[in-house]
Amino acid sequence: MKNYRFVTSSLVSTTTLLLHTFAMPAYFLGFILIYESRWMFRFLDANENLAVFNTLMITSILIGVVGISRIVMTVIGKKVRLSWWQYALWSFAEVFVFSCFAALYMALIYGTYGYFPALGDCLRISFSILPYPYIIFALLFIVIRPDEEEAAEEDLVRFTDSTGRLKLVIAHDVILYIEAQENYVSIHYMEGEKQKEYSLRQSMRGIEELMERHGIIRCQRSYFVNPRHVKVLRRDKEGFIQAELDVLNARPVPVSPKYYEQLSKLL
| pLDDT digits 0-9 by tens, 131-151 | 999 888 888 776 655 544 444
**What pLDDT, on a 0 to 100 scale, did the predictor assign at position 64?**
94
CATH 2.40.50.1020 positions along the chain are 156-265
> For residue 267, what pLDDT band results from cuts at 50, 70 and 90?
confident
Between CA 24 and CA 62 the distance in angstroms is 8
pLDDT, mean of residues 67-89: 82
Between CA 233 and CA 235 the distance in angstroms is 7
Please state the CATH superfamily assignment of the domain spanning residues 156-265 in this structure: LytTr DNA-binding domain (2.40.50.1020)
pLDDT, mean of residues 233-258: 89
Which tens digits make up the pLDDT trace of 210-241? 999 899 999 999 999 999 999 999 888 888 89
pLDDT, mean of residues 111-118: 81
**What pLDDT, on a 0 to 100 scale, did the predictor assign at position 98?**
95
Q: Quick one: DSSP state of residue 254?
A: E
**What pLDDT, on a 0 to 100 scale, did the predictor assign at position 1?**
36
pTM over 0.85: no
> For residue 153, what pLDDT band results from cuts at 50, 70 and 90?
low
Between CA 3 and CA 87 the distance in angstroms is 15
**Are the C-beta atoms of 242 and 252 separated by less than 8 Å?**
yes
Between CA 228 and CA 216 the distance in angstroms is 9
**What pLDDT, on a 0 to 100 scale, did the predictor assign at position 42?**
66
CA separation (Å) from 83 to 77, 90, 214?
A: 10, 11, 21
Q: Helix and strand tally (H, E) in the chain?
A: 9, 10
Which tens digits make up the pLDDT trace of 24-39? 889 988 888 777 666 5
Tell me, rounded to whole angstroms, the distance of Cα 31 from its chain centroid: 30
CB atoms within 10 A of CB 119: 18
**What pLDDT, on a 0 to 100 scale, did the predictor assign at position 200?**
94
Quote the mean pLDDT of the chain.
Answer: 83
Helix, strand and coil content of the chain, in percent to the nearest 5, comes to 55, 20, 20
Using CB atoms within 10 A of its CB, is residue 197 exposed (0-12), middle (13-18) or buried (19+)?
exposed
Which tens digits make up the pLDDT trace of 125-136? 899 889 999 888
